[in-house]
Structure 1
Amino acid sequence: MTARDLDALALERRVEALLAPFGTPGSPGCTIGVVRDGALVLHRSAGLANIEHGVPINATTTFRIASVTKQFTCAAALLLAEDGALSPEDDVAALIPEFPDLGARITLDHLMRNTSGIRDMLELLRFGGLDLAMPCSEAGLLAAICRQRSLNFAPGSRFLYSNAAFFLLGLAVERAAGVPLGAFLEKRIFAPLGMTRTRLTPRTTEVVPGLATGYLPAAGGYARAAHGFALGGEGGLVSCVEDLALWARNYETGRVGGPALVAALQHRMPFTNGALNLYARGLEAGEHRGVATIGHGGLWPGYKTAFLRAPAERIAVIVITNHGGADPGAIALQALDAALAGTPRLAPEPPLPPRHALEAMAGRWIAEDDTASFDLALRPDGVPEVRSHGMPFALAPLADGALTARRGVFCFTLRQVADGLEVEEDAERRRLYRRAPDSAELPGDLSGRYACAELDVEWEIDAAHQVTVRGPHAVAGPWRLEAIAPERFRLHIPGALADTWAELRRRPDGSIEANGARARGLIFARRG
């Protein structure tokens, strides 16, 4: 065997080892593809596409790839810009007249870069009791967005992930093109590239050939993942490894859109304060062990995807799973390590701080300047894990001793300082966190009704501090309130995808300010 043959064999065995946990009988599965120099050099799968019928994942199995859709929606908008049908600098309201005046000019480019400040529609509906497992139409999603009268921040000043932004972008593409988004993508991208198993599926009830069933871990095994929201430019694609490999090659060949489209998708812009945004257009730039990367993840109940490229190395890794408990992002990085093994381009991974130092950081931390808080703990394997708004993410070491989030599109780099923990967020902004008090109590006069006009939602807090939610789509609860500091609380919100929490603060006028991970500054006025 030649050295290249041996390298290929080593990569194959490493990928098979990554897939081994999915080979347990009765387990959902995972599929991994490695693209090198524009060719799919390795494609392996393990586990079941459908547990009930014992159907294994194979080369033709398709999956919901969720937010990996976003780069395709951006590509569609950029192709229309080349056609002269729109411009990235167009005001959103010019193409979507029903979009409200939020006191600032918001462009299509703000949508593509997650700098619009528009609150995330999924979180808006969650605050109103509507979980992803429940049905919600495109009209319902648009209505939730259009009820807003304020923003998370001034457009262009910050980064915050927003599914609403890409939902609107998909709608703008449809109106500029005069055809449904799926039809435009098929004609201009999928058909020319030979992506025959990729399609937009606006309705989750649609029958899709070869589609794997999504599963979530449950007591004693797995449960089918329920999801009922309409899907569009933010996450509606179904695809597979082979088709995404064809798309990865397009970043090198420019067959669709030419070099201009490839460059435009990967182009990064600074915030208004001059700091460079890590998010390009439907893609997130990063670095792994000294290697520049760009890509995106996808998450939908029962489905997870990682689409990761190392452009200078001409390597792409694609990981898709129908196992809701898997971590395809971590798998993709390990597969990238294997693909680059033995090369000087891959720097050594910095070690974690000593365990005693990590244990000293464990606990609950709260920011002094707003409602933000997080919990930090060590996993059984010794890796530090943060839980923010209920969502867990592992921390990885940096060369300077800091710890940074492994979770995609989430800006969180933690450093110890004399007064507590400092967290660097988007736009290079830093926030100081101090330890939460050892104990806190919910105030006795908190019970009552609170209404938010921007959500058309009422929260009723009873004497036992349980919250009943009445919104335009659902009645939900009871939800649990937890005190974390004087006049500061967490509202725990159960969901099909995950149990999350909103950060609440009671204001001097008796109203409650609610902040989620992607929807901030919502005011619930007291009604009685």
Structure 2
Amino acid sequence: MTDLDVTLLERRVDALLTPWANNAGPGVTLGVVLEGRLAVHRHAGLANIEHGVPIGPQTRFRIASVSKQFTCAAILMLAAEGKLSLEEEARTYLPELPALADRVAVAHLMHNTSGIRDMLEIMRHGGADLGTPIRLQDLVDGICRQRTLNFTPGTRFLYSNTNFLLLGLIVERLTGMKLEDMLEARIFAPLGMRDTRMTPDVHQAIPHLATGYFPGEPAGWRRAPHAFPLHGEGGLVSSVQDLALWSHNATTRAIGDGWLDGLTVQTPFANGTINRYARGLVVRPYRGLETVSHGGLWPGYRTEFLRVPALAATVIAISNAATSDPNLLAHRALDAVLETRPGARSMGVHPVPALPPKETLAPMAGRWLDPVSGATLDIAVSEAGIPTLATNGLTVTAEATEDGRFSSPRASSVFIVKPGGADVIEVEQDAGTVGRWQRVAEGAALPHGLSGTYHSPEMATRWTVTEADGGTWVRAEGPVANGQPWEMTPIAGDLIRINIPSMLFRAWLDVRVLRDGSTITGLQASGGRAKNVRYDRVEETTPEA
């Protein structure tokens, strides 16, 4: 690119960061790598509000799930050295894992097709949130209690942090080194990534680390609390400069020449549909170009790493403001690259797809139910005609697809929606599964007789359901915490919702009441990443006088 092209790109990026410029709150850093050079690196906002420290070139952030590609890199490195097989059962390397009816291979972990429940949701079932102090062993114990899976391995995709914690533990078992030491010696130090390190202890003081913030009530900002230990699923702190070095390695192959391409290898599901989740990275098209990306989300921190191999371009957006959207920022910056880079249009780049008109979207607002799984979806449409999708409490701004539908923009999920007729929408999810979801009618009531105690051995948790203050409430007693009361609300018939205030968003569980005839025998609860968890009703006995 010419100097004038870079200047234009800089100004486009500056315009994207305007909402965070000249304010006294947290902010964003955004970098654009072009042909191995960090051509644009801009910042706005404060790394630390209390001390008025601005975000700058050396600022580090918790990059959360962007860490996963490095854990997978370590696994591929060991596989290339003949120290493990991707097709071997994970229990071969971690014998403490339960013997399940279905075989879970190392490859299933890397592609998020294992069906193993997410450890953060396992903890949530027991009343623990990300601000609850726990140990790594608590997470491992929760994983090892599981006796059922979300699905048969290889048949579906479901994002699970458990997969990458286990991969990191496999690395440690095979090398005899801590994961952070192995990554430092084999990847970070050789590439000169001085700002990047794994930090299992979230309370450890890290030089130049930005503080993560949530919006305060009723105004201002508050520090985002977090206390869970971090490992192969999300334990890295890094900077735009270091991630630019890692991006450049995809071209130079200073390390990994024999295994680096393995990070972007996609494998099909059992039905032959391609899984866009490769190995710690997502491979999917954007405007006619193949992109390689991953996002990161941790209390007060959000990250997007977005690479376009055909353009030798990478966009890195990181924020310490929970209200920001680095995924959107990175794609708008990529749009600016496409519009300013000479020759980009000749590569068959498509226009940004337009959302359906508001008159098409507005009738879709409301609550929807998958009658097969019992999952629910909330759709809202703004005055400007912008739809949002909420599943299990996670709300995202939808983007248009090139075939006229709209979808979740989160690279780790597949959720595509279109009208399906009167009070019906058609929803496509992973593995090409398509369902017809029905509108939820108003006026439903909770089933009678819910009060009581329910127990799940897999969660090591008791739920006590009581009626009080005009509502019905659940209180969880888990292995590491006693949760606050969660409210139950009706959906339809024996389908209900349990609303869980969460550190990152207001989560909910979709719950089906289980019966033997008319008698309630249990509850079957599904969250975003832990499906069909069974709680059996416990008959309370009265002590003899």
Structure 2 Cα separation of the partners of residues 381 and 108 of structure 1: 46
Alignment equivalent of 1:414, drawn from 414, 417, 424 = 417
CA contact (8 A) 1:254 1:261 kept: no
1:216 aligns with 2:214: yes
Alignment equivalent of 2:64, drawn from 63, 66, 70 = 66
Query: Which residue type is aligned with residue 480 of structure 1?
Result: E
CA contact (8 A) 1:394 1:407 kept: no
Query: Which residue type is aligned with residue 271 of structure 1?
Result: F
1:523 aligns with 2:527: no
Give the 5 Å matches for 1:26-175.
Answer: 26-175=24-173
Query: Which residue type is aligned with residue 484 of structure 1?
Result: I
More displaced 10-residue stretch of structure 1: 377-386 or 172-181: 377-386
Alignment equivalent of 1:508, drawn from 489, 502, 515 = 515
1:394 aligns with 2:397: yes
Once the two structures are TM-superposed, the CA of residue 408 in structure 1 deviates from its matched residue by: 2.2
Q: What is the root-mean-square deviation of aligned Cα atoms in Å?
A: 1.1
Give the 5 Å matches for 1:353-368.
Answer: 353-368=356-371
Structure 2 Cα separation of the partners of residues 80 and 381 of structure 1: 51
Give the 5 Å matches for 1:370-449.
Answer: 370-418=373-421, 420-449=424-453
Report the count of equivalent residues: 525
Identity of aligned residues (%): 47
Unaligned runs of 5+ in 2: 540-545
1:498 alignment partner in structure 2: 505
1:369 aligns with 2:380: no
1:452 aligns with 2:456: yes
Once the two structures are TM-superposed, the CA of residue 30 in structure 1 deviates from its matched residue by: 0.7
2:248 alignment partner in structure 1: 249
Unaligned runs of 5+ in 1: none
1:472 aligns with 2:475: no
Structure 1 Cα separation of the partners of residues 325 and 462 of structure 2: 36
Structure 2 Cα separation of the partners of residues 240 and 215 of structure 1: 18
Once the two structures are TM-superposed, the CA of residue 352 in structure 1 deviates from its matched residue by: 1.5
Once the two structures are TM-superposed, the CA of residue 398 in structure 1 deviates from its matched residue by: 1.8
SS in structure 2 of the partner of residue 341 of structure 1: helix
Query: Which residue type is aligned with residue 392 of structure 2?
Result: H
Structure 1 Cα separation of the partners of residues 51 and 352 of structure 2: 42
Once the two structures are TM-superposed, the CA of residue 249 in structure 1 deviates from its matched residue by: 0.5
Query: Which residue type is aligned with residue 482 of structure 2?
Result: V
1:349 alignment partner in structure 2: 352
Once the two structures are TM-superposed, the CA of residue 169 in structure 1 deviates from its matched residue by: 0.4
More displaced 10-residue stretch of structure 1: 51-60 or 377-386: 377-386
SS in structure 2 of the partner of residue 507 of structure 1: strand
1:320 alignment partner in structure 2: 318
Once the two structures are TM-superposed, the CA of residue 287 in structure 1 deviates from its matched residue by: 1.6
After TM superposition, what 4+ stretches of structure 1 lie above 3 angstroms from structure 2?
Answer: none
Any idea what the Cα deviations from partners look like across 1:131-171, whole Å, max 9, x if unmatched? 00111111000001000000001111110000001000000
Once the two structures are TM-superposed, the CA of residue 380 in structure 1 deviates from its matched residue by: 4.3
Structure 1 Cα separation of the partners of residues 288 and 215 of structure 2: 35
Structure 2 Cα separation of the partners of residues 261 and 312 of structure 1: 20
CA contact (8 A) 2:362 2:385 kept: no
Structure 2 Cα separation of the partners of residues 380 and 27 of structure 1: 27
1:15 alignment partner in structure 2: 13
Structure 1 Cα separation of the partners of residues 101 and 379 of structure 2: 38
SS in structure 2 of the partner of residue 40 of structure 1: strand
Q: TM-score, structure 2 length as denominator?
A: 0.95
CA contact (8 A) 2:71 2:168 kept: yes
Structure 2 Cα separation of the partners of residues 379 and 111 of structure 1: 38
Q: TM-score, structure 1 length as denominator?
A: 0.98
SS in structure 1 of the partner of residue 529 of structure 2: coil
Structure 2 Cα separation of the partners of residues 268 and 149 of structure 1: 28
Structure 2 Cα separation of the partners of residues 400 and 233 of structure 1: 37
Structure 2 Cα separation of the partners of residues 334 and 399 of structure 1: 17
1:481 alignment partner in structure 2: 488
CA contact (8 A) 1:227 1:301 kept: yes
Structure 1 Cα separation of the partners of residues 384 and 100 of structure 2: 47
Structure 1 Cα separation of the partners of residues 214 and 365 of structure 2: 28
